[in-house]
Amino acid sequence: MVLSETDNYKKMAAESAVNTYIEDGMTVGLGTGSTAAYAIKRLGERVSEEELALTCVSTSEQSTALGKSCGLKVVPFEDVGRIDVTIDGADEINLLLQLIKGLGGALLREKIIAAATDFEVIIADRSKFVDELGFTVPLPVEVLRFGHEHTGLALKKLGCSPKLRMNGNDVFVTDGGNYIYDCKFEGIEKPYFLESGINNIPGVIENGLFLNLASVALIADGNGVETFKVP
Ligand code: 5RP
């Protein structure tokens, strides 16, 4: 199958991450999304070619299924202690390695897994790299179903236009059984300030700002894969 240019960059970043950071015996976090899927497939190849003994935990039902189909040992999160390395995608990344995640709907588990990870590797094509968060994509916020209309109104007061995420004619439901409001801001100048404002709203379960969780970002484009570290 011929890959589009963007898919080719996603694959380059994903394969570079797996080849560089994964070692025998590690506990590995599987990300979610189209870029993370390339990493999961490459992990499967390395496990079968090099007989690596990896234990994996997953950020979504979708990645669990893909991991198992690639021959990975995917265990429940409660069965592991710390995670050595997680490889995950992102929707936006800035130079401080602050992220917006969750357009794939897995932000809650992704954040829990990232927080339990010693070395979080973010992989993406260059289009995800931005000067300021919040201009190109909405910020996903996972909310409890109960009273979600009120939660949405409270989110709006923070200066965004929140939209309840749909899946065709139905409301989109996360792996945790919750709803998501996609909150479009015209840029997020003060991400920590916004994060605490969002987290103070009753009914909010998690937000898609990942501010202090990425260890490195591997960004691919026509020139190859560039590694960014927190300055
Ligand atoms: C899922 C995510 C994904 O990592 C993010 O949406 C990027 O996805 P893709 O690699 O398909 O562009 O946060 O919740």
pLDDT of residue 158: 98
Active site residues: 110
> What is the Cα–Cα distance from 73 to 70, expressed in whole angstroms?
9
Q: Is 60 in the pocket of ligand 1 (CB under 6 A)?
A: no
pLDDT band at 231 (very low <50, low <70, confident <90, very high): confident
Pairing of β 117-125 and β 139-143: unpaired
Query: Best of 35, 59, 109 to mutate for ligand 1, by most ligand atoms within 8 A of CB?
Result: 35
> What is the Cα–Cα distance from 134 to 161, expressed in whole angstroms?
12
pLDDT of residue 73: 98
139-204: CATH topology is Alpha-Beta Plaits (3.30.70)
Average pLDDT over residues 33-60: 98
> What is the Cα–Cα distance from 231 to 219, expressed in whole angstroms?
16
pLDDT of residue 1: 82
Domain boundaries, the chain: 5-127+211-222, 139-204
Structure tokens at 140: 């996903």
pLDDT in tens, 73-129: 999 999 999 999 999 999 999 999 999 999 999 999 999 999 999 999 999 999 999
DSSP one-letter code for 36: H
pLDDT in tens, 122-135: 999 999 999 999 99
pLDDT at 201 over 90: yes
Q: Which CATH number is associated with domain 5-127+211-222?
A: 3.40.50.1360
Average pLDDT over residues 23-37: 98
pLDDT of residue 218: 98
